[in-house]
Each structure stands twice: as structure tokens, then as C-alpha cells.
Amino acid sequence: MKRTSRDIRTAHRYEVLRQVIAASPASRQGLASATGLSLATVATLVGELLDLRMISEVGFEDSAGGRPRGLVAVNASGGALIGVDIAETYVHVELFDLALTVLARADEEMRPGESQPERVVGVVAAAIASVVARAGVAPDRVLGVGVSVPGQVDRDTGVAEYAPNLDWHDVPLLDLLAEHTPYPLHLDNPLRACVVAELWFGAARGHEDAVVVNLGTGVGAGLALGGGLHRGVSNSAGEWGHTTLVLNGRLCHCGNHGCVETYVGAPGIMQNLHELSPSSALLHPGNQTATIDALARAAAEHDPVALKTVQDTARYLGAGIADLINLLNPEVVVLSSWVASRLGEPLLDEVRRVVSRHALGRPLAATGIVLSPIATDPVCLGAATFALEGALRTVGQRQETVRGTAPARSRTAPPS
């Protein structure tokens, strides 16, 4: 499938806004050199973004010998974006201004057995209403809501096709949510949300090729290749958690044996701990969060069982990451999501050690492995940027419609 001129134009518009958000204020000349686009193209796109009030003129900078250059900056109050992170053990909802600063947040725990779609939709809709009210934002200024659900999703139809850890199959999530919330809705998954968060604000900024390894209940590897998110042909790239690491190994819920996820996802880590010390006090059966928290605290205190569990986990994780480095030759591998942030440096150190034994010399020398530097929930942040991207695409569609081409394809709720 070739990208159309419209796709390319949307990508360029997005790239310019991303640069303005990353480094305001900016001149058109600076944006042209940062994006590789021509000055004429940048000037046109800046004009569109000014018309949309997403950015504004904020003054001038001197240019050696030439006339002063106009500067633009993101217009933070020009709109609001909402990011929703539906995970196996929680729902997080955050409301952002256009500079992607959090204005309000709602966190809900989800206990096992509480993840029926209708129930989750109710929780999400209430949290959205709550953050809008608490941020004091007028509803007509909410440009969109990005929703992240683990597993395989269809962005065009808004259906969560397969979320094994939630036991969801073909859930028409956006249709259900549209009954309770009036804003344009955009569906994607946490792998891709985290990549975008790292590309805009985190450890992948300024890198062409990065891998964001997501360690939560499930496991995946979001890919930034050639400076942008790699979605694959049907938007399902990144399903690294179901890579065979141990032929005939542990049974995975996907039906295969020996998947990476069964060794380094939160339940897999619990099993690593259980195999090492079945009666360990660190083990909280049925409670992933409590167990990972206990492991993290004990590892910080040099508890030998905790350290050995981290080592065992890193042996699998490091072998898998070495494979990603050999295959993709990225500049940076980012460890993200809640399990990575809680196990932190002890896990990172062990992973680096294992990777340096397993990876080939040339790709290894070119790669750094780091923890995500994003302090808030990267999935909410990334989901909000998908909503922003959706809003920018809608602009393109309005323009294209005038010029008589194909109608809108992206899934949005009816206008409120």
C-alpha cells in the first residue's frame, strides 16, 4: 500500500506541530531544517496551524544580516486532549492542554473479574466527564479522546479485536463509549502510544530508529523506524510478547509455548519468583501490582531472592532484547510501562549485562538501553497525541473534501 499525497500532507502537518510543541518558540526556517521539509511547505503548514489556533505568532528573532524572523509557539489553551489508558489492572484518564501538559487526572483500579467491556466503558466515561469538569475546560474545546487498549485493535472501526489479558474479543469499544461521551474518539494500543510518547517527549526524541519495550501484564515492543511510528500493514506491529523464546516452553494464552511474555510479563515474573521460592513472602498470589511492588522494594534492599528473580527475568528479557537489537539495529531501546518503572535500575543493569553477552558487536555498539524518562503515564500521553493526530487529519479531510476526493475514513463520534 503506497501512502497517498493526503497521508503525506497529514504526516508533514503533524511533524511541524510536533516540532513546535517540542521546541517553542520556533521560526519557519528552524522548522524547515528540523523537519527536512522545504521552507515553502513549512510556511503553508504553519499558516494552517495558525488558522486552527493550535499555534500562535509570539514575536521575532534576529537573523544575521537578514530581516527578523517570525516566531510561532504552541497555543496551549487552544484546545484540550484526553488520553485514556485501559490496562489489565487499572484505568488512567488524563486531560492535557495543547502543550501536552496534564491539567487533570483520574485513576481507577481494576480488580480481576471487573474487566467486562460495559463496566470498563462506564468507568472510562465517568472519568472523562470528571477530568473535563475538574480542568474547567469548555466541552467544545476538547479536540478528541485517544483510547489505548492492550492487544490487537482496529483503528478504523474502533473495535478491540483481541485483548487476551482482559479476555476481550471483538469489543466495539468506541461505539459503546460514544453512547456516553460526546468527543471524537480514537482507538489504538499501548505499544504504539508509548512509542509516540517517547518520540515526542522521551528517550526516542531525535532518533531515527528506536524500540520501546513495554513491560506490564502483557509485553510488547513498539517500533519507531525512520523517525516515525511503525504500524505495519494492519496496525498490529509490535506483538513481540508472543515471540518464541523457549521452544516448547511455558504455555501462553495465545496458544503457543515459550512466548517472551510468559517469562517477563508481570504474571511471568511471578512465576519466575514462584519457581525460585514457592513460599516467598514477596509473592502475593492473584495480585500482580503488590507482588511487583514487593519485589522492587526487596531488590532495593539487596534481598537475595528478589535479586535472583530480577536476574532470572533479565536473562529472558535480555536475550529477547538482544534479538531486537540484532534485527533492527536501533539507536535506543527504552524500557517502559509499570513493571519496568517499578523494577527500575536493578532490572536495567541486569538486562544490559545479558544483552552485551548476546548481541552482535556492530549493532550492540550503536545501541543504548535506558529506562523511560517520562514521569507520568506514557500511555495516556501517547493516546492524547493520537487524538491530536486525529484532529489534524480531520483538517486535511475538510480540505480534501472541498477538492472533491475521498471522504473521511477515521472513526469519530457524531458531532456533539
143 is in the binding site of which of Zn ion, a second copy, none (Cβ under 5 to 8 A by kind)? none
Name which of 185 and 354 has its Cβ closer to a second copy: 354
Q: Which does 24 bind (CB under 5 to 8 A by kind): Zn ion, a second copy, none?
A: none
User: Residue numbers of the site for Zn ion (CB under 5 A)?
Assistant: 242, 252, 254, 256, 259
Backbone angles phi, psi at 343, to 5 degrees: -80, -25
Q: Which of 69, 231, 274, 284 binds a second copy (CB under 8 A)?
A: 231
Q: Say whether residue 1 binds a second copy (CB under 8 A).
A: yes
Specify the DSSP class assigned to residue 242: G
Alpha carbon distance 338, 165 (integer Å): 16
Instruction: Give the amino acid at 180.
Output: H
Cell 521575532 sits on residue: 60
Contact call for residue 327 and a second copy (CB under 8 A) = yes
Q: Per-residue contact track with a second copy, 121 to 160, x per CB under 8 A?
A: -------------------------------x--------
Does 329 participate in binding a second copy (rule CB under 8 A)? yes
Number of residues that bind a second copy (CB under 8 A): 63
Least distance to a second copy, CB of residue 130, Å = 33
79 or 265: CB nearest Zn ion: 265
Is 247 an interacting residue with respect to a second copy (CB under 8 A)? yes
CB of 226 to a second copy, least distance (A): 5
Which one, 236 or 376, has the nearer CB to Zn ion? 236
Interaction with a second copy in 263-302: which residues (CB under 8 A)? none
Of positions 319, 369, 380, 384, contacts a second copy by CB under 8 A: 319
H, E, C per residue of 326-366? HHHCCCEEEEEHHHHHHHHHHHHHHHHHHHHHHCCHHHHHC
Query: H/E element holding 104?
Result: strand 102-109
Cβ proximity to a second copy, 239 vs 377, nearer residue:
239
Find residue 97's DSSP bridge partners. 80
Alpha helices, DSSP H, located in 76-183: 117-135, 173-178
DSSP, residue by residue, 363-412: HHHT-EEEE----S-HHHHHHHHHHHHHHHHHHHHHHHHHTT-PPP-S--
Binding segment (CB under 8 A) for a second copy, from list 43-51, 233-241, 268-276, 292-300: 233-241
Closest separation in Å from C-beta 373 to a second copy: 20
Grid cell locating 385: 497525541
CB proximity list for 113: less than 8 A, separation 6 or greater: none
The residue type at 311: Q
Give the number of other Cβ atoms within 10 Å of residue 205's Cβ: 15
- Scored b (16 or more CB within 10 A) or e, 170-201 reads ebebbebbbeebbbbbbbbbbbbbbbbbbbbb
Q: How far apart are CB 153 and a second copy at their closest, in Å?
A: 9
Minimum CB distance to a second copy, residue 38 (Å) = 8
When asked if residue 206 is in the footprint of a second copy (CB under 8 A), the reply is yes
The site string for a second copy over 28-47 (x = CB under 8 A, - otherwise) reads -----xx-x-----------
Shortest separation between residue 312's beta carbon and a second copy, angstroms: 12
Choices 99-107, 354-362, 375-383, 398-406; region in contact with a second copy by CB under 8 A? 354-362
Considering the complex, what minimum distance in angstroms separates the CB of residue 105 from a second copy? 31
Q: Is 209 in the site for a second copy (CB under 8 A)?
A: yes
Q: Which of 15, 13, 24, 8 minimizes the C-alpha distance to 56?
A: 24
